[in-house]
Structure 1
Amino acid sequence: MAAHLRAWKRCMSLAQRCTTMHQLKPIHAIFLTHGLHHNNYALSKLLAFCALSDSGSLSYASLIFTHIQTPNSFIYNTLIRAYSRSSQPQLALHYFHLMLKDYGSNLLAPDNHTFHFVLSACANAKWVLAGKQTHNWVLKNGLVLFDGHVQTALIRVYVECKVLDDACKVFDEIPCLDAIQWNVLMNGYVKCNMGSEALRVFRDMLMSGVEPDEFCVTTVLSACAQTGAVLQGKWIHEYVKKRNGMESDVFVATALVDMYTKCGCIDMAEEVFERMPKRNVFSWAAMIGGLAVHGYARMAIHCLDRMQVDDGIRPDGVVLLGVLVACTHAGLQEEGQLLLDDMENGYGIRPKHEHYSCVVDLLCRAGRLDEALQLIRRMPMKPLASVWGALLSGCRVHNNVDLAELAVEELLMLENDGVEEDGAYVQLSNIYLGARRGEDACRIRRIIGDRGLKKTPGCSMIEVDGKVNEFVSGDVSHLHRAQICAILELLSLELV
């Protein structure tokens, strides 16, 4: 008995000190030699390391599982949890189904942890049907009434699957909502480009007496940026100032910078940025991106140097894309091409498709269409719609029919949902008209009509007196449409 106890203590001590798979495998062998491979508690220690540690191996965890004769709830939950956040979330459902089979034979019941992890897998994989089936299990077990983690996971499933009506139903049935649940719903509306609804949810949250945390504030500022609701963004900024310590949160401050730049208040964005006690790569990306879209290309390039000198932060691909956008908007051709060529050697970042697309756009705007085509041909990846679309737009501006036909041909060869197809035909028709080739333009228009293609209508938003107004091309439902049209006619007379 004493020898067995010493062996047990030694094995547990080894398992506890294990930090790599190189160490774990011989420890597993020691477990086998001492007969601990039949002990669920002992094996759970090894399995938990393999499944949950950054140094572990999920495949080895699954191998350990196959040799366990009667797995318990902890073992099942460990594997389901690990696979729910992995690149193979389907295996989380596999182990859940195995657990249900064992449930039928030996009363091994899924618990609140199980359902939380299974729902997380459904959310991460965007499986709405599996999510609804798990939702039914949750209802049968009554967990939706009292477990906050399961409630939040249910909302998140429907949010990630963009089934917001069902997300709202779950949300409305929760008797005592917390800040996390409010944030998940708000974030769902933002992801679906429904920023106005996210702002409504935020107002309801404040009225309910729940105090928003840093995550909620960051989300609602994203909604303000999305809708251009600068007055509401400023109110939230004042609210942040009154909350002790929140203004110094790097993510809240970065969201403020992003909001102000997207709402056209570049001076306010700079003020917030310069007052930040700590900045990260996202902060610099937001500031550089804001300067880029406002036409301050030289300042954006200066920020690229500043972030390395002042904060010791190495730029990532998003930051460099922001600088390329700045060069594109300002027509800085040499600077843009030089940065693209120097990305890998100077910053250790291999250019991605979006970086090439940006420089193609830069060359097209400058009328250097042949150079743009040469760059496209040199791209190490397959050119997508954004690249050929940039070339097509350049052809329209500079009346290059031959290259326009090539760009449209390439666009139509891409597998897409038809959005690029209708836009490409409309652009080509306009290019033919600009080149006085009316017959070709009519031929393209007939193709558009025969295929039933419709160009996606344009949409714009503006905030007036704290209320966001949305305008969609062709929509005549706005209450003040007559007055708006009258003002536009007056403005058009001034522009002539």
Structure 2
Amino acid sequence: MQLVILRLRLGSCTHKPLAAQTRGFGNCDLLPPATAFTGLSCSPGFHNVALAFPLGMMNNPIFRPLIPLCHTTCSLTPAYRLFSQYNYFFSQPTFLSNALQNYINSDNPYHGQKIHSQILKSGFVPNTNISIKLLILYLKCNCLRYARQMFDGLHDKTLTAYNYMISGYLKQGQVEESLGLVHRLLVSGERLDGFTFSMVLKASTLGCGVAMISDLGRMVHAHIIKSDAEKDEVLYTSLIDSYVKNGRVAFARTVFDVMSEKNVICSTSLISGYMDQGSTKDAECIFHRTLNKDVVVFNAMIEGYSRTAEFAMKSLDVYIDMQRMNFRPNMSTFASIIGACSMLASFEIGQQVQSQLMKTPFFMNIKLGSALIDMYCKCGRIVDARRVFDHMLERNVFTWTSMIDGYGKNGFPDEALELFKTMQKDDFIVPNFVTFLSALSACAHAGLVEKGWEIFERMNNEYMVKPGMEHYACMVDMLGRAGRLNQAWEFVMRMPEKPNSDVWAALLSSCRLHGNVEMAKLAADELFKLNSDGRPGAYVALSNTLADAGKWDSVSELREIMKERGISKNTARSWVGADSVY
């Protein structure tokens, strides 16, 4: 009678009464191997039933299903306790495999490492399946060292094991190690599958400085053609992405054209490649051929158009079209369209975009706030830029740099330097490479030579930011504007690196400003040695300097040299907007 009652209660899932009733049965040797346990609900808290049973009862076959069921209740710690107490697991590899898989799928896979420690203590020799599960577990825990130990300990290294290990190395950015495993796999005579090819193609896009990394795409492409690997959509997408990111857009287009079904991911990648090369017509062709468009493919077109003033207006057209097709702009869309407004110097359209942005969750994003500040500064709307800056809840170094640079370029050097001081004193923001350049430029325009020297010296000594050629050119410009040409010349001569054309151009411009013909000739000679054809403005600056000094013979000689070399300066022009007409 007691047996019947127990079986009924086992099926009823009344956990506490069940545990209380079963304690009286000892080892339950009289219980038949009934299947009532398999019908138990896997609801939260069920593992408490298993923990309530005495240790000896778990040796009975009727209670053994409780252990793997503890894993399915998403309470892995009690399951591990049972695991560590009962040797039954080691005689049932299926249960052990299921337990490891549950840890792999959980949010806290680290606890699964304890199972491995119990395996080592017990002397149990895991089979290939369990060893691979342990390998995956360590990869999930970002423990590459232990994962590699499991891999090296495999007697039968399957293609699956190789793929997991290669993928693990790539996720950690260790491209050389992953490619080393691929080479080892090829030497072993194992045939690569689509997943392996995809991993190698991914490695080719990481740009880690490995020799011939840019040719990996072509090598993999050749292997795919020769092998019988399934040419699925994922593999083609990876191949196109590899070609595009390595600048081989023509090869990517060849792969794209032979695809039976052209997905939007391939289209987006190809559009980005064409836009990077300036081939807008080809990008438009792919865009119009893409039937199932999404936000990302629209973003690729908008971002590509927004790079130049020539096509920036087209980005606005695409921006309007995507919304007419009921696609909502995301953060990338707003960043690109604000960039287009900067390129067009169209603050009116920028204000409309900002109004729309304020209705979205992205309005307080730092990146978009910095983009709005930059846009308003480039449009000369410094008050609007400062309003956006003041209303931002959070600012980073890029936000401060945009505002400082905007003040400096719009004729407010004092405000720029005050903001440069505030960002360090009040917000404890560390200036970066560009921040120092903006501050030095403000000093140059304000004629604050001593302040500029102070910032330049602090940059290297206090902030450990190595000055670039841009900073040296800015210092030469600052000294030259102040009329300290000899000091500027000495500064150039003491530079730790060979001055580039920007430095000599800054000195030449200062010489023209103050009529120093001899120094202008020296600066021009050095400039022409570095770049004789790419700086027509330097010839004009030297010619004007000579003309101001009345040296017309020298002007004529210089003009003849320009004609012989085919050098001509483009006519200067201004970009003016009125009533949305540019």
1:24 offset after TM fit, Å?
3.8
- Change in CA separation of 1:445 and 1:258 when aligned onto 2, cut-off 3 Å: same
Aligned residues: 456
Deviations 1:373-410 (A, max 9, x none): 11112222221221111111111110111111111111
Taking the TM superposition and a 5 Å limit, the aligned residue runs for 1:361-376 are 361-376=477-492
CA-based RMSD: 2.4
Q: Tell me which residue corresponds to 2:510.
A: 394
Q: Deviations over 1:84-138 (max 9, x none)?
A: 132459856644444444434441134333333333333333x2xx322222222
Higher relative contact order (Cα pairs below 8 Å, separated by 6+ residues)? 1
Structure 2 residue aligned with 1:452: 566
Structure 2 letter corresponding to 1:419: G
Relative to structure 1, is the Cα distance of residues 116 and 303 closer, same or farther in structure 2, using a 3 angstrom cutoff? farther
2:534 matched to 1:419? yes
Name the aligned partner's letter for residue 434 of structure 1.
D
Runs (4+) of structure 1 exceeding 6 A deviation are none
Q: Is the 8 A contact 1:360 1:372 kept in 2?
A: yes
State the shift of 1:30 in Å: 4.3
TM alignment of 1:431-450, pairs within 5 A: 431-450=545-564
Any gaps of 5 or more consecutive residues in structure 1?
A: 470-496
Q: Which amino acid aligns with 2:302?
A: M
| CA–CA distance in structure 2, aligned partners of residues 91 and 200 of structure 1 | 41
Provide Cα deviations, 1:226-271, integer angstroms capped at 9, x if missing partner: 2211111111112212x23222111111111111111111111000
Q: Which residue of 1 aligns with 2:499?
A: 383
- Which stretch shifts more, 450-459 or 339-348? 450-459
CA distance in 2, matches of 1:4, 1:297: 73
Cα gap change, 1:105/1:425 in structure 2, threshold over 3 Å: closer, same or farther? closer
Q: SS of 2:341's equivalent?
A: helix
Query: Which residue in 1 is equivalent to 2:198?
Result: 77
- CA shift, 1:173, in A, is 1.2
Q: Amino acid of the residue matched to residue 534 of structure 2?
A: V
Aligned to 2:176: 59
Query: Does structure 1 residue 216 correspond to structure 2 residue 333?
Result: yes
Deviations 1:161-187 (A, max 9, x none): 111111111111112322222221222
Asked if 1:44 corresponds to 2:159, the answer is: no
Alignment of 1:27-426 (within 5 A): 27-37=147-157, 39-54=158-173, 57-68=174-185, 69-87=190-208, 94-125=215-246, 127=247, 130-144=248-262, 147-194=263-310, 195-241=312-358, 243-415=359-531, 418-420=533-535, 422-426=536-540
Does 1:462 find its partner at 2:581? no
CA separation in 1, counterparts of 2:326 and 2:339?
A: 22
What CA distance in whole angstroms lies between the structure 2 residues aligned with 1:309 and 1:42?
Answer: 54
Q: Which protein has the larger Cα radius of gyration, Structure 1 or Structure 2?
A: 2
**Whole-angstrom CA distance in 1 between matches of 2:275 and 2:208:** 20
Which letter does structure 2 place at the counterpart of 1:140? V
CA deviation digits over 1:45-79, x for unaligned, max 9? 2111212214xx21111111112121211111112
* 1:27 Cα offset (Å): 4.5
CA drift at 1:220: 1.2
In structure 2, what is the Cα distance between the partners aligned to 1:375 and 1:110?
61
1:230 counterpart letter in structure 2: F
Letter in 2 for 1:135: R
Amino acid at match of 2:376: Y
List gaps (5 residues or longer) in structure 2.
Answer: 1-91, 94-123
1:445 is displaced (CA, Å) by 1.1
Structure 1 pair 133–360 and aligned structure 2 pair: CA distance change class (3 A) = same
Contact 2:376–2:384 (CA under 8 A) maintained in structure 1: yes
1:250/1:279 contact within 8 Å kept? yes
Query: Which residue identity is paired with 1:341?
Result: E
* 1:176–1:89 distance in 2 versus 1, CA, 3 Å: farther
Query: Scaled by the length of structure 2, what TM-score is found?
Result: 0.74
Name the amino acid aligned to 2:398: F
Separation in structure 2 between the aligned mates of residue 415 and residue 396 of structure 1, nearest angstrom: 19
* Superposition TM-score, scaled by structure 1 size: 0.86
Distance 1:112 1:85, change over 3 A: farther
Distance 1:118-1:161 versus aligned 2 partners, 3 A rule: farther
